[in-house]
Amino acid sequence: MKKRVIFIGLLAGLVGVGEVMAACPGTKQIQTAGTAVSEVNSVNFTGFNLPERKSVTIGRLRFSSTRALTPTQVAAAFANLKDGADSGAGTGGNYSGRLSGWSSGGVDGSLNILFTSSNTGDVSRIDVSASGSATPKVTEVIKGSTSTVTLSSLLTGNTVCVGSSGNWAAQEFHKSSGTLTDWKKGANDPVDKTSDVGTWSISGSGTGSVVSYSYTGSGPTAYTVYDNGNGSYSFCNGSTETVASKIVAGQVGC
């Protein structure tokens, strides 16, 4: 079901409406302190044929073939596994050992499977080996490190841009004093010039970290903030998601 994204001041007073397929992502939350994330490795099975009576081991879980297997069949043996799994949906072979320290997702159209570390912070890449000369290729997708980006460093002294070029719904500068100032059409515009529109503050910790906005005529509303990984950020309040297309340094027009 589609949820509506309401573009408002930053977050108050209707200006325009867009739509996304889902509201409020569940990962990459920006918190009040740097947070460690789980490492994600991609294992690609393209071109990896497993001959009869050969084996491949990923994260200490081994699959040994009883007949020749295609890359698609080998990938299926390691898809959708929980940490500690000693078997999966593989056919044409037998399992031994257990998947240790990782869980896996499904197989995508390019024969990639994402393996997510069960621990946060830096870990070694998932161990992949095979009894033949070739092995599936491992790529680090997300490095498991502690992020230095915090809600304070993301917002303080910076302008949050909602909308797009030529159609900015909000260009709100977050003063260190807690004042929220909308750039509008600039300080010298005779009709719609830069002005203070409310206040902002940060509270909570961990996944309870929020930024609260109070606009003229309305009480405070709290939002969790997520990095979408493409330069944009989502400000989420329940089922409502306001997407900031970018956040830029200083008090400027977007």
Q: How confident is the model at residue 44 (pLDDT cuts 50, 70, 90)?
A: very high
Q: How confident is the model at residue 98 (pLDDT cuts 50, 70, 90)?
A: very high
- The predicted structure's pLDDT at residue 145: 67
Averaged pLDDT score across all residues of the chain: 86
d(CA 37, CA 183): 35
d(CA 213, CA 8): 12
Q: How confident is the model at residue 27 (pLDDT cuts 50, 70, 90)?
A: low
- The predicted structure's pLDDT at residue 148: 75
128-132: average pLDDT: 92
Q: How confident is the model at residue 47 (pLDDT cuts 50, 70, 90)?
A: very high
Backbone angles phi, psi at 121, to 5 degrees: 90, 180
Q: How confident is the model at residue 193 (pLDDT cuts 50, 70, 90)?
A: confident
Give the rounded distance of the alpha carbon of 180 from its chain centre. Answer: 27
